[in-house]
Amino acid sequence: MENRSPYTTYYAPLAVLAVSHHDIFVASLFLPKTIYFDLPDAPSKSSRKALRHGHRDASKRPALNARPSLFTPRPPSTPPLTPTEDETAVDDGLFMNEDGLTVQDVDDSEFRGPADKESPSWGGRNFQPTSRVDAPPPASILEHEKTFEKAKELGRQGVFQPRTSRSESHDRVFANANWRVVNADRGNGGLRNAAGAAARDGSANEVIWVGTLGMPTDALNGTQQKQDIHDRLATEFNMLPVFCSDRDFDGHYLHFCKQILWPVFHYQIPDNPKSKAYEDHSWQFYVNLNQGFADKIVKNWKRGDTIWIHDYHLLLLPSMIRSKLPEAKIGLFLHVAFPSSEVFRCLAARKQLLEGMLGANPVGFQIAEYTRHFLQTCSRLLSCETTSEGIQLEDRFVDVMNTAIGIDSVSLNLHRQDPEVMKWVNMMRDRYKGKKIIVARDKLDLVRGVRQKLLAFELFLNKNPSWRDKIVLIQVALSTTEKSGLDAAVGDIVARINSTWASLSYQPVVYLKQDIPYSQYLALLTIADALMITSQREGMNLTSHEFIVCQDGAYCDQKHGSLILSEFTGTSSLFGGQQLSVNPWSYRECSEAIKQAAEMSSEERATRWSFLREVVSRQTGSHWFTSFLSRLDQSYEVQHRHDQISIPRLNLNHLAKQYSQSERRLFFLDYEGTLVSNERSKNAVVSNPHRVLAVLSDLVYDNRNTVFVMSARRADELERLFQVVPNLGLIAENGCFIRYPSKSTWTEFADRNKVTSWKESVRSILQYYLERTPGSEIEDRSCSLIFHFKNAEDYTMAERQASDWTAHINESCEDQHVHATQLEDSVVVESHDWTKDTAATCIYEHIKETKDGENHGGQPDFLMVVGDGRDDEKVFRWANKLQEDGDVKNAVTVTVSNRNTEAKTTLTQAPFEASSKVSQRPSDLLELGISKLKSLALAAAKES
């Protein structure tokens, strides 16, 4: 351990963890390690070392003083001595940057291999097995219904993928080859760096990684080798490999993730009319792969362990694990953007995906915008109750929060000291002397906006011809699995700019369609006058952070370069406007930003840079890693405490004792769903109102009792219902109106002007939907508006759209303190200002102040609240607090529902009762309880 390089991400051996504590499983699609097979005809490690150490064919090697080919004028070419693909990512001690860029440990001082040279296609490397499937299927699959028909005929599920002609001998070669564990060249470098930094800083325990090897593994099926690989990774590297079939991986990653989720999460809706079919066909693979992860984690989990799931590849995993391990501590962090609900709803599997995510607690996002979108999407698509903090499910609360990832400057600074970086800094400084340099390194997919950037640069040159010869754009483009024709389009633009503006000594765009070694990458960030990011959407963008660190002037006099940054990146929202923020869709704006960057005074650059440096230093990867884990602990603690306190059933004997010992009693009894079954429920059995009335009459007979019934109904309806119990107090329209016992007048709490104003706004929205939903109607109550769609001609459609109407009102009318709630056949809109608990508080204060004995007055020493709905929870909380504060001697709060609650007792059926033949409904149970109180009350009355 002591000898490990400071650059190396450290993964402690499993044995150490086993004795110490609870484990942290970090589930991410790709493990930080993969396997290199030493095949008979592949270069051995020693021969590869020899290559790196200069024993390569001398005729192909440039002289030491040769100009670095990276920046040789046209055609842009590969840097000298670029090792072949199979040499990449094979040395231990690699460092990853955000995009999974592999970088050699600088201990290996002579080797400067390329990083992730061409983002090798899955199964496309010659030191690893080939996939059993052809991936991806050609785009033409969408044009040929017949292909699907044929697949169906053959009884196959999923994407129709012809078998490759891979031979049996291929499998045998790999089954018998020697192998080594090497650093993986794909995956989330930002996450790995953060985990490594947190471990180094001692602020988080080492983790057990769970992921795939990022290579086809069917060829290893049934071999001892597969088991050995598994065991070695588990025991020596703390990594649990998930082996899934090549077909599942292919369908999951290349199809569902890359063709459906990645574009949609970045606002690019697949517009092929047949892409729905495409999505359906790859969905099952997404499910299968997630299930593979779930099985692996469930098998290895023990009580107290933490599970932290990462990114859009594994969205079903939280609920898959939750269903097997209800008590597990599970967190989910989404690294990519989360789109607006309007975009997310285009996904066919939208509900499954959201429900999958909600198995976690907490769910984390990079920035507030994504959190907001997620909350809105859940509210709209799942019709669940949301607050700014999270989502209230029936049985638990899911915290939703944002905490942005950062970089590890410590490690980055160590790498910057590498003499190789200095070598490249010096070369490039000389090469571009007197010129402004704009740099960029992006994946070449539509989302990253490389095309827009080049067009903006072209516009800049067109508008500012005086800058010819004085400015260069160096664009590094990493290839992706995306097949979009973008490649050719970008190539054309580069050619056009260069052919228009180049001279014998000047090439305006240096375009490298390949990745570059890390040392060159760092050198580029160091010598640049500006970094230009024009992503159309991006979860964060850590290249910007790395750029800021490299611009401190420590290794180059060129410093404090400008950051031209798309406003659609997560990073943009953190940088307080000190970046040159651009809308990548506006070429004009981007070209002006280039001009501004090129002409900015050094004072202004310094001021902006200092601010950005401060943000980057504060928001580190290590901090992100530990703060998410501590938030996960907190969420779990709260949840667990709640689960642990199993709410006791109401003890009637104890209640009777409290009752008989008290002198002034105050009752708040909810009506719908509590005293009578909820008529909204499809299976409702309406209670016998006469029995309810009889029980209430008995209760109010004792003048030490003051009883209020709380209801959503209108005042006149309640009056009619309870006219035979005049001594009963009533709360109508969920707290807007109160009628005290024995009074005939109502007190209204709502401010009429306010009500009129919010109703106007809400009515105009409802009116719009009313006109488009024949059969629906708007009910105008004094303090609420109700949109009824029970009789809608197309009920199914109305029911489906109700969550959108609800969300629309909640978004538009937030400032007016109103809230819309979707019920079974209606959407109810009412004010936040007057609720059941505000009414209960008023009544309590009023009764307290009223002279003892006069009109049920005097300080209550017994308070009972019974209810079932979410709106009753606040009344429970209020009553519990009165007891805690010593204001009321006995406060009894009772729920008659199964939701998680603040009530101290429940009247729901215990499991054994539920199975008994004569099962009772909550309202019956309450009647029983009240009947018992009635007898006590009568007995007490007789005694006195």
Q: Which residues bind ligand L263DTV3 (CB under 6 A)?
A: 98-100, 188-190, 257, 335-336, 405, 538-542
Q: How far is CA 267 from each of CA 340, 378, 599, 808, rounded to the nearest angstrom?
A: 8, 18, 34, 20
Nearer to ligand L263DTV3, 538 or 592 (CB): 538
Q: Give the whole-angstrom CA distance, residue 440 versus residue 254.
A: 26
**Closer CB to ligand L263DTV3, residue 336 or residue 866?**
336
3-state secondary structure of 378: helix
Handedness of CA 40, 46, 48, 51 (dihedral sign): negative
Which two tokens mark 823?
């019920």
Residue with Cβ nearer ligand L263DTV3 (440 or 731): 440
- Residue 779 sits at φ, ψ, to 5 deg, of -100, 130
Place of tokens 């009578």: 676
Encoded tokens for 324: 């097997």
Min separation Cβ 633 and ligand L263DTV3, Å:
21
Of the pair 101, 718, the CB lying nearest ligand L263DTV3 is at 101
Determine the length of the chain: 944
Q: Minimum distance between the CB of residue 544 and ligand L263DTV3, rounded to whole angstroms? A: 9
**Beta-bridge mates of residue 33:** 183
Is the distance from CB of 730 to CB of 745 less than 8 angstroms? Answer: no
State how far the alpha carbon of 896 is from the alpha carbons of 730, 912, 915, in Å. Answer: 20, 17, 17
With H, G, I as helix, E, B as strand and everything else as coil, classify residue 511: strand
Residue 749 Cβ, how far from ligand L263DTV3 at the closest point, in Å? Answer: 49
Cα separation, 319 vs 396, in Å, equals 13
Closest distance to ligand L263DTV3 from the beta carbon of 119 (Å) = 9
Nearer residue to ligand L263DTV3 within complex by CB, 195 or 728: 195
To ligand L263DTV3, the closest distance from the beta carbon of 869 in angstroms equals 40
Contacts by 325-329, CB closer than 8 A, 24 or more apart: 325/298, 325/301, 327/303, 327/640, 327/643, 328/301, 329/304, 329/305, 329/632, 329/633, 329/636
What the block records as the tokens of 332 is 């989910």
Rg, C-alpha atoms of the chain: 34
Q: How near is the Cβ of 192 to ligand L263DTV3 at its closest, in Å?
A: 10
Question: Could you tell me the smallest distance in angstroms from the CB atom of residue 542 to ligand L263DTV3?
Answer: 5
DSSP letter at 40?
A: T
> Minimum distance between the CB of residue 667 and ligand L263DTV3, rounded to whole angstroms?
54
485-492: list long-range contacts, CB under 8 Å, 24+ apart: 486/444, 486/445, 486/446, 486/450, 486/451, 487/444, 487/513, 489/451, 490/444, 490/450, 490/451, 490/454
Closer residue to ligand L263DTV3 (CB): 312 or 789: 312
Query: Which is closer to ligand L263DTV3, CB of 370 or CB of 805?
Result: 370
φ/ψ bin of 213: left (φ > 0), alpha (ψ from -120 to 50), beta (otherwise): alpha
Tell me the backbone φ, ψ of residue 723, rounded to 5 degrees. Answer: -65, -25
Show the DSSP H helices in 239-384 as ranges. 246-249, 262-265, 275-300, 317-324, 341-344, 350-357, 368-382
In the complex with ligand L263DTV3, which residue's Cβ is closer, 476 or 650? 476
Which residue stretches of 829-921 are H helix?
836-849, 870-884, 911-915
Decide whether 372 or 781 has the Cβ nearer to ligand L263DTV3. 372
Nearer to ligand L263DTV3, 405 or 632 (CB): 405
Measured from the CB of residue 286, what is the shortest distance to ligand L263DTV3 in angstroms? 13
Nearer of residues 261 and 666 to ligand L263DTV3, judged by Cβ: 261
Measured from the CB atom, the residue of 29 and 600 that comes closer to ligand L263DTV3 is 29
Query: What is the nearest approach in angstroms of ligand L263DTV3 to the Cβ of residue 532?
Result: 16
Nearer to ligand L263DTV3, 360 or 655 (CB): 360
d(CA 442, CA 837): 55
Distance CA 448, CA 832 (A): 43
Least distance between ligand L263DTV3 and beta carbon 337 (Å): 8
CB of residue 213 to ligand L263DTV3, shortest distance in Å: 14
Q: d(Cα 178, Cα 38) in Å, to the nearest integer?
A: 5
Element housing 602 (H / E) = helix 602-618
CB 436, min distance to ligand L263DTV3, A: 27
To ligand L263DTV3, the closest distance from the beta carbon of 255 in angstroms equals: 12
In the bound state with ligand L263DTV3, the residue whose beta carbon lies nearer, of 137 and 263, is 263
Whole-number minimum distance, CB 588 to ligand L263DTV3, in Å? 26
Compare residues 102 and 498 and give the one whose CB is closer to ligand L263DTV3.
102
For residue 438, give the nearest of 519, 547, 588, 514 by alpha carbon.
Answer: 547
Paired strand residues for 439: 474, 531
CB of 624 to ligand L263DTV3, least distance (A): 9
Q: How far is the CB of 892 from ligand L263DTV3 (least distance, A)?
A: 50
Say which amino acid occupies 741. Answer: P
Distance CA 291, CA 294 (A): 5
Closest to 321 in 3D by CA, of 297, 302, 304: 297
| Minimum CB distance to ligand L263DTV3 smaller for 263 or for 390 | 263
Nearer to ligand L263DTV3, 254 or 839 (CB): 254
CB of 311 to ligand L263DTV3, least distance (A): 6
* DSSP codes of every residue in 400-445: EEE------HHHHHHHHT-HHHHHHHHHHHHHTTTSEEEEEEEESS
Q: What is the DSSP string of 479-507?
A: --S--SSHHHHHHHHHHHHHHHH-BTTB-
- Considering beta carbons, is residue 257 or 888 the nearer one to ligand L263DTV3? 257
User: Are 141 and 255 contacting, i.e. CB atoms less than 8 angstroms apart?
Assistant: no
